[in-house]
Amino acid sequence: MSKITYAEAIRDALRIEMKRDKGIFIAGEDVGKFGGTFGACKNLLQEFGPERVLNMPISETVIIGLGVGAAAVGMRPCVEIMYCDFIGICLDEIMNQASKMRYMFGGKAKIPMVLRTSYGAGVRGAAQHSQSLEAILAHVPGLKVVMPSNCADVKGLLASSIRDDNPVMFLEHKVLYSLKEVCPEGEYLVPLGKANICLSGNDVTIVTWGLMVQKALKAAQILKKQQINCEVIDIRTLVPLDKETIFESVKKTNRVVIVHEAPKTCGFGAEIAALISDECFEYLDGPIKRVTAPDCIIPFAPNLEDAYMPDENKIANAVIGLNQ
């Protein structure tokens, strides 16, 4: 075990997997000499050469088109879209090609492609570089959607995603790149589709993912001082979703707060709330609450962006309201 940053954990996973399998390559804007916008690919060009670390033009369509084609003929591309805000440019390649080819060819064509991209507000990126668009991707059958919240998980989930035979959308929060934590050394895998109970408690279940896991754990510490013991669940993968872990927690606590950074309307939290209502309604002692960003465009002004973001105080207040 060693202490490394979230970005370094990504790089560690990429390096180990590329050494293990020569069919894995990286492609994206500035991933070569520059090492990627957030430094996650630093020094990989020097180690693996320009045939496996491809610096691409500013064309998301070309980057994802390359990935889909390479995956279809047996390679394992790990392609990068600098900001998830730009997935609209290559949405045809993602939702009409990558997601559907295995089904449409009767399983003869596999698309073992990982699409890495950054998401989220909190770094003063303004409206076009700060969105959380996971719900759009989770809505497309055939795609897996992964959103790690810590250094160990980003390493283990990325390695598992690279080894998966299906297209995986791998979303990394920009605020987390500088997070420094203890992380397992060497080859390390975290299975897709398995949630993590970050904190055990009996009074309320907080379901969340990505950066909001860190906020939820801080909220739990605030609430503990008021004798409210929270169970914090990091779902880690939106698709496949480990609903069984969520349901078992709901049966124990009987109260649920769902937290995500994306706007409330049609956010992925609504899907989780619907699943709980459909399959666990009899265990609820109160309404399902959501703590989210408002349904508005992300502002650039620092004070407005801070007000936009869900935080530990907003989460704690929602839990207190539910327990009154």
Residues with catalytic function: 129
Contact 208, 234 (CB under 8 A): yes
Contact 195, 216 (CB under 8 A): no
Tokens 């991209």 identify what position? 117
Cβ-proximal residues to 190 (8 Å cutoff; 6+ apart), any chain: 152, 153, 155, 156, 157, 159, 160, 236
Contact 172, 178 (CB under 8 A): no
Cβ-proximal residues to 126 (8 Å cutoff; 6+ apart), any chain: 298, 299, 300
Q: Letter for the amino acid at 50?
A: P
Angle subtended by helix axes 151-163 and 6-20, to nearest 10: 30
